[in-house]
Structure 1
Amino acid sequence: MKKITIAIDGFSSTGKSTLAKQLATKLGYVYVDTGAMYRAVTYYMMQNGWVTDNALDKEAIVNALPNVKLHFQFNAELGFAEMYLNGVCVEQEIRTLEVSRFVSKIAEISEVRAKLVEQQQEMGKEKAIVMDGRDIGTVVFPDAELKLFMTASAETRAKRRFDELVEKGQHVTFAEVLQNVQERDYIDTNREDSPLVKASSAIEIDNSSMSKTEQFELVLQMVQDVVNR
């Protein structure tokens, strides 16, 4: 069977990662969560005090990039690969609202994007990969055989994110999560370097009122159509 590259872009909390994991499992493809990579870099910079509510030390962040070693390691019990930062699993630490507050600001830095895009392109050289993020179909894999652009209302996405965080035991309010979603939308779509935009050849999917199963079956058919061309 022909192997392809599947690029999934879209706004935060649209279920990109969930869909990508489903597809990778079904197809036997490699799954790469680029959002986790940006979150891990953000977490590292936060730990060192270079990004706070009051300031962002861009020079220190850029100088520290060579010290940031990222890799994914498959966890058989969970059924997906976890994010490791300098040899330590940080999968739980990078999923907090606190990291979410700063990740779009770190992702605005061109040097950060250049470092991670280079790694992402290397991962996809052999195809048979599903990658999700903000610039996969436009920058990382502009020639991907299937490009998807996920969207949903801000309120719907905030509710999903809020439920997810509460289930993990984090103490947040819906208002906080909604504000974070809206702020990230603005930063992601207005940054100078690789802003979030729909690739010209991408298929837009508004999943505001779509179940995970409905979405998966819809996209799986799209994959099969592309593979069988």
Structure 2
Amino acid sequence: MIIAIDGPAASGKGTLARRLAAHYALPHLDTGLLYRAVAARCLALGRLDDAPASEEAARHLDLSTLDPEALRTAALGEAASVVAARQGVRAALLDLQHRFAAQPGGAVLDGRDIGTVICPRAEAKLFVTATPEVRAERRYRELASRGEPITYDAVLADIRKRDERDSARATAPLVMAEDAALLDTSQLDIPAAFAAALAIVEARRHGR
């Protein structure tokens, strides 16, 4: 079984993906980390604006070397949104994501184009969202807990900028798949959101 979860930044899709993966004993891939890793490599080389450099970094990405904690900074979130808009980068990461999804038994993947591009035939598709203000508050609390010097207003501005960039890009824009179930987590805590997501997946598994 493949579960595809898409949605904008800080919507809660990653948390739900991890919980669903644990529930069904499936491997999980946060595809956003791939773009963050590419961005981190480009920033380290001082070449974030160099499209060929980002494509080269994407082609040589090794999943086993990803450090999720180190990659979840505000700066890398913004930089990842930049490199993710490049067709060459997305093309370079496509096969890696396909291979992950093709594992025996299935997988859970979350990102921006899982249900539309990476796994269009996934058995269960969710589009997870929340208001920009709620998402900014979540991301602000997350970053503040890490000791990052950032304000809520700055996070909200970044969320809105990333939403526009993700939705307007020419290659694999952030859109809800026609056969995906919409889950708005604005008013839901994590247990309630997980219960709703699990109900959606179970319904899809049983053809409802």
Is the pair's TM-score, using the shorter chain for normalization, greater than 0.5?
A: yes
- Which residue does the alignment assign to 1:113? 90
Conserved 8 A contact 2:12-2:129: no
1:60 aligns with 2:38: no
2:43 matched residue in structure 1: 46
Q: Which residue, out of 31, 34, 38, partners 1:34? A: 31
Tell me the CA shift for residue 124 of structure 1: 1.1
1:102-138 deviations in Å (ceiling 9; x for gaps): 1111001111101112101111113421100000000
In the alignment, is residue 129 of structure 1 matched against residue 107 of structure 2? yes
| Cα shift at 1:92 | 2.5
Indicate which of 5, 14, 27 corresponds to 1:17: 14
Q: Once the 2 structures are TM-superposed, how far is the Cα of residue 58 of structure 1 from its aligned partner?
A: 1.4
Do the aligned residues in 2 keep the contact of 1:189 with 1:196 (CA within 8 Å)? yes
What is the number of residues matched between the two proteins? 206
| Counterparts of 1:150 and 1:65, CA distance in 2 | 26
User: Residue 120 and residue 65 in structure 1: after superposition, are their counterparts in 2 closer, same or farther (change >3 A)?
Assistant: closer
One-letter amino acid of the counterpart of residue 29, structure 1:
L
Equivalent-residue separation in structure 1 for 2:80 and 2:124 (angstroms):
27
Give the aligned partner of residue 80 of structure 2: 103
Unaligned segments of structure 2, at least 5 residues: none
| Contact kept? 2:38, 2:61, Cα under 8 Å | no
Q: Deviations over 1:136-164 (max 9, x none)?
A: 00000000111100111111000000000
What CA distance in whole angstroms lies between the structure 1 residues aligned with 2:127 and 2:139?
A: 19
What residue is the counterpart of 1:167 in the other structure? 145
Match of 1:214 among 183, 192, 196: 192
Distance 2:148 2:61 in 1: 27
Residue aligned with 1:142, SS: coil
Structure 1 unaligned segments of length 5 or more: list them.
73-83
Could you list the per-position Cα deviations for residues 142-189 of structure 1 after superposition, in whole angstroms to 9, with x for gaps in the alignment?
001111001111110000000001111111111111111011000000
Match of 2:206 in 1: 228
Residues 1:63 and 1:39: Cα distance change in structure 2 (over 3 Å): closer
1:33·1:133 contact (CA, 8 Å) conserved in 2? yes
Distance in 2 of aligned mates of 1:217 and 1:69: 34
What is the alpha-carbon distance in structure 2 between the residues aligned to residue 65 and residue 222 of structure 1?
33
- Name the CA shift for 1:146/1:225 in 2 (closer, same or farther; >3 Å): same
Please give the root-mean-square deviation of Cα atoms over the aligned residues, in Å. Answer: 1.3
TM-score (normalizing by structure 1): 0.86
Q: Output the amino acid matched with 2:133.
A: E
1:151 match: 129
SS in 2 for 1:105: helix
Runs of 4+ residues over 4 Å off in structure 1: none
Equivalent position amino acid for 2:175 in 1: V
State how far apart, in whole Å, the 2-side matches of 1:69 and 1:61 are. 11
Secondary structure of the structure 1 residue equivalent to 2:109: strand
| Aligned-residue offset at 1:69 | 2.6
1:196 aligns with 2:174: yes
